[in-house]
């Protein structure tokens, strides 16, 4: 989602609060809870899951392993729920031609450096770079090259934009900023 006028361009960046992340966190939570219940059922000899007879699972070694998987899954699930609630990775990119300033803001993990705020002069922008890696793990990322400071990613690495979408996004931004496009 973006907003554009003659002098200002604001691109909103989606963070961890995506339906797919919520779905995976929920599935992982339920699965790990099931593993933990089956492991606990085998230890206590009681059936906590009615449709799964726990008498078939011997506590040592199957019950211990299932309990371990359940606890590990709950830790990973709680990590995912925390990143979703903190909305890690969300923010905005603001390009202001009138003032000649580029502002990049992202939310990180809680702590002293939770707010990530970068500010550059527009005259220091060297180019907009598209990095394309095809194959099993296809990756298409849009970068902004800053003189003397390196590359700054403008899109998420897991955004999975098509080649046409990333080219269009790069062309619009390069035209707005009046800088060239580089392709790698």
pLDDT profile of the chain (184 residues), mean per 10: 83 90 96 92 82 75 92 97 94 93 94 93 94 85 92 82 89 92 88
d(CA 73, CA 115) in angstroms, rounded, equals 29
pLDDT score for 54: 65
The answer to whether the beta carbons of residues 102 and 122 sit under 8 Å apart is yes
- Kindly write down the DSSP assignment for every residue of the chain, as one continuous string: -EEE-SSEEEEEE--S--HHHHHHHHHHHHHHHHHHHHHHHHHHT--SSTTS-GGGS-IIIIIHHHHHHHHHHHHHHHHHHHHHHHTTT-EEEEEETTTTEEEEEEE-SSSTT-EEEEEEEGGGEEEEEEEEE-STT-EEEEEEEETTTEEEE-S-TT----HHHHHHHHHHHHHHHT--EEE-
Q: What is the pLDDT of residue 62?
A: 87
d(CA 113, CA 157): 21
* Residues 6+ positions from 20 with CB-CB distance below 8 Å: none
Domains of the chain, first to last: 1-16+86-181 (2.30.29), 18-84 (no CATH)
Name every residue whose Cβ is closer than 8 Å to that of residue 157 and which is 6 or more positions away in sequence. Answer: 139, 141
Confidence (pLDDT) at 161: 82
Token representation of residue 8: 């200002």
Residue 121: its pLDDT value, please?
Answer: 94
Q: Are 150 and 104 in contact (CB under 8 A)?
A: no
Query: What's residue 1's pLDDT?
Result: 57
C-alpha Rg value of the chain to the nearest Å? 23
Task: Report the 10 Å Cβ neighbour count for 65.
Answer: 13
């Amino acid at each position: 989602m973006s907003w554009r006028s003659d002098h200002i361009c604001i691109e909103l960046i989606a963070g961890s609060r995506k339906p797919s992340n919520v779905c995976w966190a929920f599935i992982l939570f339920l699965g790990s809870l099931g593993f933990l219940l089956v492991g606990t059922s085998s230890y206590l000899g009681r059936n906590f899951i009615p449709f799964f007879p726990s008498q078939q699972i011997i506590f040592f070694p199957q019950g211990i392993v299932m309990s371990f998987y359940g606890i590990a899954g709950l830790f990973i699930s709680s990590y995912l729920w925390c990143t979703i609630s903190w909305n890690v990775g969300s923010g905005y990119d603001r390009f202001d031609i009138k003032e000649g300033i580029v502002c990049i803001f992202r939310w990180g993990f809680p702590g002293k450096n939770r707010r990530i705020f970068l500010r550059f002069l527009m005259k220091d922008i060297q180019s907009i770079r598209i990095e394309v890696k095809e194959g099993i793990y296809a990756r298409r990322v849009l970068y902004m090259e800053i003189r003397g400071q390196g590359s700054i990613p403008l899109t998420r690495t897991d955004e999975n934009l098509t080649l046409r979408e990333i080219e269009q996004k790069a062309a619009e931004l390069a035209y707005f900023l009046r800088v060239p496009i580089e392709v790698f």
